[in-house]
Every structure is written in structure tokens, then in C-alpha cells.
Structure 1
Amino acid sequence: MVHRNSSFLDGYHHEPTKVLPFPSQLVYNRVGKCGSRTVVQLLRVLTERNHFSLINSDIHNKTRLNRIEQMELINNISLGDQPYLYTRHVHFLNFTRFGLEQPVYINIIRDPINRFVSNYFFRRFGDWRSEQNHQIRTPGMKDEERYLDISDCILENYPECNNPRVFYIIPYFCGQHPKCRDPGEWALQRAKENMNRNYLLVGILEELEDVLLLLERLLPHYFKDASAVYHSSEYKKLGNGTNTMKKQVPSPEALKVLFQRMRYEYNFYNYVKDQFHLLKQKFGLKTRARAPNKKYEIASQVESPGPSHDDDDNAWLQDIYR
């Protein structure tokens, strides 16, 4: 029999291996004006409750990176204390290109015209918090640009209201390749491929409550109790400040022109919506007809065109928001 000297273990404390959830690396490359500030506020509450690291970048205006910048960002992300959720406005990054493990991605998108309108007025007038604090959004903007009627911007082909500026959502999924910035079939298909291969969930903002329910089931370590927090009175006080100020609806003529410019965006949006509804079905969540959420929709303010000889030509007005 071997007699072990107990003093051999004196002063030694074995640290058990930390068991990490799967996935332990999560990236939310949030799309601008698609409810991301609402979700980030929610994540700040959840990180305390669910014990994960939230790495929230304060860089908002640099979504496209050169190779060195990609490598530096990917290395910095990978050094985060796991489990972590990294979030930033940045186009899709391919970690495997630099020999690192690809994290799991999530994202939320929104009806493209609704997103565009929200961004147009947010750049000019900010949100409720800006209004309350008397902050001027985009201080360097001249008054003739700040108060430019959105319909005039669209119909008179101002750069802000034309391609490639309105080709916005797809590059977040297509990635950093220069062709991802060009409105067309190549970027659209690559965005769909990346979504299918790398994203665990891409939800739609119009059904945010169902997005949170699915995230709770798919990623409980990060999103446990997300729905309860979202509906709590304390959280609603935080969320009320994110509403964009002074939004107006473009004219039906301007909307029609904008829709044509954004046809690739709508192809992708409808594809995402279909995939999201399929995932909801798998988890037993029903997609019901519902009134538009005024916080996220302008559809309720757009009148459907009346009967005319051009009914077929105007059918898009009814289809955009289906």
C-alpha cells in the first residue's frame, strides 16, 4: 500500500476547469436603425443576470475594413473573456480567413424603407433623448440639408436617397469584399450564403418579441429572461428614449421610386422573413396577422392607393409591408 504524504497537497488548490456554454463566442454585427440600441440596452441588463461578457464597440461609422484592420479587430475580439457577446456596426467578418475559429453570428433586420426613413430623420433630428437634452444631431449639417423634404430627396436623386447609399442591409451579411458594396445579384447571393452558413438567427424587427423568444431558446446562457426584462416597467423607461424624432412619410410617388432602387434589399428582407417564419414554426411559434408596431413601422401611415386603371402597377404599395 502506498501512503501519500498529505503535506504534499498543502497550499495547493485545484481550480476546476470552467465549463463554457456553446457557443462561447457570439457576434451581433448590428445593422444601423434596426432596433440595435434597444437590443444593446437589453443586453446590458442581461449580462449582469446571465454572467457573460458584453463587448460593445463605440465605433459606429466604420463598417468596412481593410485587411489589416480586419485582422486586428478579429484578433481583439478573439481575446475576449469567454463566454462573450461582441457587438458593433460592422460588415460580416470571416474569422477563418485569418486561421481563427468562426464565432456564431446573430442579427436583426427591418423593412428596408422603414429603416431608410428612420435613418434619414435620425441623422437630422436624433431621438427623444437628443430632444430632451437639447442635443443637435450632426452639428455640421447645413440647414438646407437638415430640412430637405424626404420626397424631394428621393425624386430629385440626391446622393443620400439613391444607390449605393440605399443599398445598406445586404453588405452587413455579404462582408468586406469590395463587390459587396455594389447593388446587384452577386452581393445578394453572397449575403444569403453567409446568412445560411454563419448565422444562428436573423430576426426581423417587426416581430421583435418573437425574436427574443427564439433567442431565449437558442442561446439561453445569453438571453435567459430576455422577454421578461423587455416587458418590465424598468426596461420600458430605458427603451422609450430611442424613438426617432420628427419622422415623416414620403409621398406614394417617392416610395415607389425608392422601392425600385431597393429591390435587392427587399429580395433579401423577404428571404430573411421567410426563413425566420420557418424557424418560428419549428419552435411552435405562430405568425399571426398583427397591427404594425408604430415604434418601428411607417406602414400604418401610408394610405393604400384607391381603385384606378393602374392597379397592377400600384400593387407594390400593398405588397411592401405584407
Structure 2
Amino acid sequence: MVMAFIGVKTFKAIGSLFLFILATLAVWKEIKLSQKMCEESSANYLLLANGNRANAAGDTLLPRRPVRNSPVRKMHRSLNKSYINNDHLERNYERIEHANVTLFVSSPPSSGIVNLLELFYALPIIRDSVVVPLVDNKILSTGNYSAIEQYVHKAIEDAQPPALVHTHAYHVNVSASLRNKSLLMISVVRDPIQRAVSMYNYARVNSTRRDSEQIRKWRETLNINKRETYDDCVKLKRSECVSEGATTRLIRHFCGYDRRCRKKTRWTLERAKHNIETNYFVIGTREDMEIFIQVLERRLPSIFKEGSRVYNNLLDIGKVTRGDRYTKVMPSDDTIEKMKRMMALDIELYEWIIARFEDAQRNVGLKI
């Protein structure tokens, strides 16, 4: 019996030793993995600081999620914050004289892209070139980044400069091979609350001759109450107005299709800023469309020469408007205050874009 007792104690001791060894190996593996991630993140930061624009624009440089409770977690966070922060990047306001470019215009819906497109169609150099709309909502609505990326890349690849490709798709990382074809990414944005109200009303207006068949089909699929105002929508907490997707449309647009971009976080905001700084030639605002065109005239004269004159002619004949083409009921002050809180990150990005746009204006000699 004594021997049996000793045997049991020995077996337990051996088992405990075995479990201790396994636990030690697991902890060691976690520490090594976390250190490796930290080293990768450090390398990525150095690449970005050295101006490796083509690589920094891709998802492959984003550090992976660090191991929870890792002893180097704080260091990793610090490096990741430095990687995302773009304040140290020197902005480039180059002037491009040649017309051998493809313009890729990506912006959220109801941001003023229609006015910009009307100008493109009216410009002398664009009349003889191809304007390629990306309107395949079956692909865009899936959220499948691989399919969307292939779709966008093919449209850009098939375009023969000077050409224009436009879409409402979220930000897509364009490959280096396409960048070598003198691709310029531009965009136009709008005050987030004004854009949301405009989009809300646009979904409820009757179809007009300006609407494409695809837009009419889209409107037919909407499950909406046409009698409700935007105030009602917010008060009743309809997902169309107050969901995370509805209140982060701007930061999600420029953040892209990374799953982390679906969340209302500071990371999404900073990633959107990073994508703008490293990819976009210029971003203007719907509220200052005429100034936006003047900036384009000075930075890309081969395409936008006489752009301001042409745009003023379009305003005179009613081809473009400074406001929405349909009547909309503006929300109450109380609703606007609620939406300001809910759209805080979108508004912060919008104001950051305005500051960046004003910097571009000063750089080309326009008075602010």
C-alpha cells in the first residue's frame, strides 16, 4: 500500500513537471512571436518614415494584432501609433504638365461627384477620351475586397489616358504597376451631416430622367418609409440614420475594406488619414467646388485648363448646381447636435481634409 501511495505521488509529480514544461514553452513561444511582431512593426515604421510610398499604401505592412498580455505590448502599441500617424509625412503638391494620366475619382455618394463629372465631360481634352463609371453594385455591395480590387484594377488598366474612372467604392489600394501608368487619385467630400441628409432625401425622391436604370432598381429595393423625415429617422433610431455604418461613412470610405475599418474607432480614422496622405493627389469639398477646380487647374493644367470658365458656364445653363437638385427638409437643431456626437469621427476627418485642402490652396498661390 505504501508503494502504491509513492507511485501515485511520483506519477503526479511527473505530470506536474510535464505540464510546467508545456506552459513554459507556450509562454516562450508567445514572447518570441510578440517580439517578432514588434520587429516587423518597427521595420514598417522605418519604411514609412523613409518615404516608401508604394509599400506603405498596402495592407501587407499593417502590423498584426499583438499577443494579449505580451510583455512587449506597450512597445508594439507605441510603434503602431507612430506607423498610423501621418503628421510627419511631407506633403507633395507637384504640378503635372502632361496629359497622359488616368484620373481615378473615388468619393462617398451625395458628395458632389456629379458636378465634377459634368465638368469632366465638358472639358475639351476629355471629350475625346474615355470616362469609365464603376457602377457594378453587385460586386461593390458584396464587400469582397478581392473581387472589388480586381474590378477596379481592370477598369483602370483598360482605360487609355487621358481617361477618368469613377466609383463610390471604398478606398482600394492600387497596385504599383498601375501607378506607373501615371494614375492620379482624387476625391471630393462633403460635410458629413449635410451628406447624410442629402442621401436620405435622395433615396425618397421620384425617379427622374437623370437616373440610370441601375439607380431606379436600387431605389425600388429600399425598405424605407417615405413619410418620415430625417428628424423622425433619428428619433426612432432607424439603422438607416444612426447605425455604425451610417455614422462612419466618411472614415470607412477612406479606410477601405479591412475588417477593422467597419468599427467606429480611432484606428479607422487614422488609417483613413494615412490612405489619404499616401494615395490622393488632391481632395476637395462639395462646399468649395469652384476653389477645388482652381486648385486642379493649377496642379494639372494639361487636363483642367479653362476648368473654372467651363464650370461657370455649366452653372449658368443649369447643368450643375451649388446645392442639391431636389427639395430637402433640413433636420432640427436638436437632431443636428445628436448627429454631431454620433458622427464625431467623420466630422474630425472632414475638418482634417479641409485643413489639408487649405494647405493645397496656399501651395498653389490661392488666397484663403
Could you tell me the TM-score, scaled by structure 2's length? Answer: 0.64
The one-letter code of the counterpart of 2:158 is L
The answer to whether residue 236 in structure 2 is matched with residue 156 in structure 1 is: yes
| TM-superposition CA deviations, 1:228-266 (whole Å, max 9, x none) | 111115863322598342311111111111111100001
Question: Corresponding residue for 1:71?
Answer: 150
Judging by fraction of residues, say which structure has more helix.
2
Aligned pair count reads 263
Out of 205, 226, 241, the position equivalent to 1:125 is 205
**Change in 2 beyond 3 A, CA 1:183/1:219:** same
CA distance in 2, matches of 1:106, 1:89: 12
Deviates more, 1:43-52 or 1:199-208: 43-52
Is the Cα–Cα contact under 8 Å of residues 107 and 188 in structure 2 kept in the other structure?
yes
Match of 2:67? Answer: none
- Indicate yes or no: 2:179 matched with 1:101: yes
Identity %: 23
- Identify which of 113, 116, 133 aligns with 1:36: 113
Q: Which runs of 5+ in 2 are unaligned?
A: 1-96
Pick aligned residue for 2:159 from 64, 67, 80? 80
The gaps in structure 1 that reach 5 residues or longer are 1-19, 288-322
Per-residue deviation, 1:101: 2.9
Q: Secondary structure at the match of 1:119?
A: helix
> For residue 363 of structure 2, what is the aligned residue in structure 1?
282
Paired residue type of 1:79: D
Contact 1:130 1:136 (8 Å CA) reproduced: no
- SS of the residue corresponding to residue 104 of structure 1 reads strand
- 1:265 equivalent to 2:265? Answer no
Counterpart residue type for residue 112 of structure 1:
P
Measure, in 2, the Cα distance between the counterparts of 1:215 and 1:246.
Answer: 30
Deviation per residue, 1:83-128 (Å, 9 max, x gap): 222111111111228x643732101111111101111101001587
Larger Cα Rg: Structure 1 or Structure 2?
2
**In 2, distance between residues paired with 1:171 and 1:267?**
13
Aligned-pair CA distance for 1:30 = 2.5
Residues in 2 aligned to 1:28 and 1:161: alpha-carbon distance in whole angstroms: 26
TM-score by length of 1: 0.73
Alpha carbons of 1:233 and 1:272: their partners in 2 closer, same or farther (altered >3 Å)?
Answer: closer
In 2, Cα distance between the equivalents of 1:151 and 1:118? 13
Distance 1:128 1:250 in 2: 25
Matches within 5 A, 1:200-279: 200-232=281-313, 236-240=317-321, 243-279=324-360
Contact 2:135–2:167 (CA<8 Å) still a contact in 1? yes
Corresponding position: 1:193 with 2:274: yes
Any idea what SS the aligned residue of 1:214 has?
Answer: helix
**What is the deviation of 1:137?**
8.6
2:42 equivalent in structure 1: none
Provide the alpha-carbon RMSD of the alignment.
2.9
Partner of 2:264: helix, strand, or coil? coil
Residue 118 of structure 1 aligns to a residue whose secondary structure is helix
Task: Classify 1:53/1:222 alpha carbon distance in 2 versus 1 (closer, same or farther; 3 Å).
Answer: farther
